[in-house]
């Protein structure tokens, strides 16, 4: 019997690449997104259910999970991929933006996970893959909101892995580096106020550095391959770096103290 995976944020980037890869490998796929009526590629594939799920809308979560189980009998894996990045000086961020960032990247992830836990526990089987980032273990300037959410995902995942072990469910974290997705487009929410002149050198340094990094970004398919490994390798491994840059940056962070590593980031961004 074919296994089934539910993926959030499957309309583009990592989510869509993951949906296509699992479908190609014989899985049933519940490809969820906020606007499924705009999707054309995944809807034409066999054994793919495209359905609405907005991680900030609990009713849509329950409906999508129920529809996936009804269509395919059971769900064997969950990929919490939906999310975006809010950047900018914290002083400029409205509480509305702050809440939206955490509601999407953290609370939404928790709600989707909770919706599937009874199903996984009853089956005594399942894999939960949370898409974090190197930004869940390394922080860059102007990313207090985004990094706050991704550090939260790391902590949630590590803690959850302990309690799920008793149920046979595995928890995994995938940490991509720079990936050629729409993260720099519609998934990137930047806020600035040029009248706050003190912050503008940081803004310029961040934008210049990000442009350089994204110019060498790996394809989303690379992350999809890592997600496939995390779901299917049968191990208790918790964290998976995705991309050579991710491996290098995480190794550098692990080998240096705060002063050395943060000094390197400041130098790279011209903030010294």
Smallest CA-to-CA distance from 156 within 111, 119, 123, 90 is with: 111
Among 20, 146, 157, 170, the active-site one is 146
Assess whether 146 carries a catalytic annotation.
yes
Report the distance separating Cα 12 and Cα 10, nearest Å. Answer: 6
170 is catalytic: no
- Integer Cα distance of 69 and 67 in angstroms: 5
| Spatial CA neighbour of 8 closest among 153, 118, 136, 139 | 153
Selected catalytic residue, list 132, 133, 144, 157: 132
Would you tell me how many other CB atoms lie within 10 Å of the CB of residue 32? Answer: 32
CB proximity list for 187: less than 8 A, separation 6 or greater = 13, 83, 84, 85, 181
Closest CA to 192 of 84, 86, 85: 86
**Phi-psi label, residue 168: left if phi above 0, alpha if psi -120 to 50, beta otherwise:** left
Active site residues: 132, 146, 150
């Amino acid at each position: 019997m074919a296994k089934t995976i539910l993926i959030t944020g499957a309309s583009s980037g990592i989510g869509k690449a993951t949906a296509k890869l699992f479908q190609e490998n014989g899985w049933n796929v519940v490809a969820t997104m906020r606007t499924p009526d705009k999707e054309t590629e995944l809807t034409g594939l066999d054994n793919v259910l495209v359905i609405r799920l907005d991680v900030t809308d609990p009713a849509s979560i329950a409906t999508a999970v129920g529809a996936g189980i009804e269509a395919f009998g059971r769900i064997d894996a969950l990929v919490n991929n939906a999310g975006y990045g809010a950047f900018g000086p914290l002083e400029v961020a409205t509480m509305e933006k702050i809440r939206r960032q955490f509601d999407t990247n953290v609370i939404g992830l928790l709600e989707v996970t909770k919706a599937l836990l009874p199903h996984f526990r009853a089956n005594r089987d399942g894999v939960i893959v949370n898409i974090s980032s190197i930004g869940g273990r390394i922080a860059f300037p102007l990313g207090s909101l985004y990094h706050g959410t991704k550090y939260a995902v790391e902590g949630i995942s590590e803690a959850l892995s302990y309690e799920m072990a008793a149920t046979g469910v595995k928890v995994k974290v995938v940490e991509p580096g720079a990936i050629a997705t729409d993260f720099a487009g519609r998934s990137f929410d930047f806020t600035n106020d040029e009248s706050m002149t003190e912050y503008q050198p940081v803004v310029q340094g961040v934008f210049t550095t990000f442009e350089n990094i994204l110019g060498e970004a790996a394809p989303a398919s690379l992350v999809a391959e890592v997600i496939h490994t995390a779901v299917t390798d049968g191990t208790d491994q918790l964290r998976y770096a995705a991309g050579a840059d991710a491996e290098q940056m995480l190794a550098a962070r692990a080998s240096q103290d705060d002063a050395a590593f943060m000094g390197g980031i400041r130098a790279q961004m011209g903030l010294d």
